[in-house]
Structure 1
Amino acid sequence: MSRLIIDRRRFLTGSAALGSTMALAGCSQFDFLAQRDNPIRNAIEQANVLTYQAQRALIGDQVLAREYAASEIRQGMKPNGSTEPTTAEYMFLRGMNFEPYRLTIKGMVDKEVSFSLAELRNMPARSQITRHDCVEGWSCIAKWTGTALGPVLDQAGVKPGARYCVYHCYDNIQRSISGDILYYESSDLVDAYHPQTILSYGLNDAVLPVSNGAPIRLRIERALGYKQPKYLHTIELVDDLSPFGQGKGGYWPDNGYDWYGGI
């Protein structure tokens, strides 16, 4: 069984990397990825649903992603995607060394709560050395330090009907005629409460750099890199993902990527 899971992960990672690389390069045969009613894309989306259901059934909720030895950290964590948000609120917080920063938990909770960066750093910390796998085909081993997301959610009191966490970010990843398009992602509560899912404020025994998502980057270690949102400021508990963005559960899922992104 373990051999099957490992081989399947390599296949999925490699296939996703190949597909995204060719699509970004402008290959016409991959135009269907942007066509929401294309039958090939719809078939792929159904396969993703089956993959999600199979992984939940076979792997289990609490199985850990592999962790590595410190000697296996061979380079700095590669910055990727947006590396320096330019929204006014983020630039203000950065100029103040993130002292006014608050992480807000809201939505389907008993009470809305927020935490300063200092408060998050004073909570019980977890460090883990894991491998970041990017859909573009590269990977990097790094040490992440932060507080587990699950106990933070518990302080807000997640209501029984909640199914997902929506992660809102300062990251203005795209600009349109109507203004900035802000990065967002989401996960189910299984991934949110996984013991390796942390609100990371440290990278390789140093303060998390801006280029890697400061002040807070979410780490969901059993998922691909685009599921690790940077510049996080709000977590919203919901029972439906359709009201956000284009309704697919994240910026990249809205643009053709798999919502689950599991590896």
Structure 2
Amino acid sequence: MSVLVGLIVMLGMLVIVPLGLGLVGDPSLGRLRRLWPLFAVPGAVSLWLPRGGVATALALCYALGTLLLASHAPRRLARTRSVRPVEAALLTALVTPSVAALALVAERSGHELFGFGLGILALTVPHFHFAGFAAALVAGLVCRAEDGAAGTFAALSVPLGTLLVLVGYFVAEWTELAGAVVLTAGMWTVALLTWRTAPAPGQDRLTRVLLAVSAGVLVVTMVLALSWALGEATGLPHPTLTWMAATHGLGNALGFALCALLARRRLQHLTHPEGRTA
């Protein structure tokens, strides 16, 4: 795993997931959120150790945390009995870190998984932290705030696109391309709705900047995602995986996920000054 990919994954583990969990508004996640460093810190340490038993054991600690998080999805579904689009997005966010953790355990152990090499597994880890967890969560939060056709489309298309990309790993590159198209459409809708939110009255300058940056970055990073998926499916020239990690990956991590979640946290405190740290 390269240094850049390792740093991006650390951001996802240590910052993005716990920050995002605080925005769900689900009190049942409170205890896991407080305990999250007990799982995330060993996982982060595993990134910098040589592949082997110790790195695998630490990665398994993180995997345990993600499985506990994923276990909240069926419980939330049973409790809410809701299949609304916003719930589909939030349930996706709860489950996707476990996919990243599975890839992490395999990569740290030095073993291929389902025929995928270590390089692909290493990139799968950040992908499902950001294109999985962060993207689905933000889509759900946008839908919660913008309960119209566009918000509904975003909340449904982001999980669907993520699922199609995952299926495409196993089926065909054209399926992965279809997933990239659906995911891009959903994320561009998120960007549009976020851009509309940025100049709303009552927001401070920093919040407006964070919202605007997260929206603008999405436009660029998803073009890169489309170009890569199209090239993989058709053989047309397209960016290398190393270039994608340095542009699409870094942009989504810092420009989209971090800025979007920080902005949503600030908006949450403006709306609920007492805070909603589920």
With normalisation by structure 2, the TM-score equals 0.28
Q: Point out the structure with the larger strand share.
A: 1
Q: Point out the structure with the larger helix share.
A: 2
With normalisation by structure 1, the TM-score equals 0.29
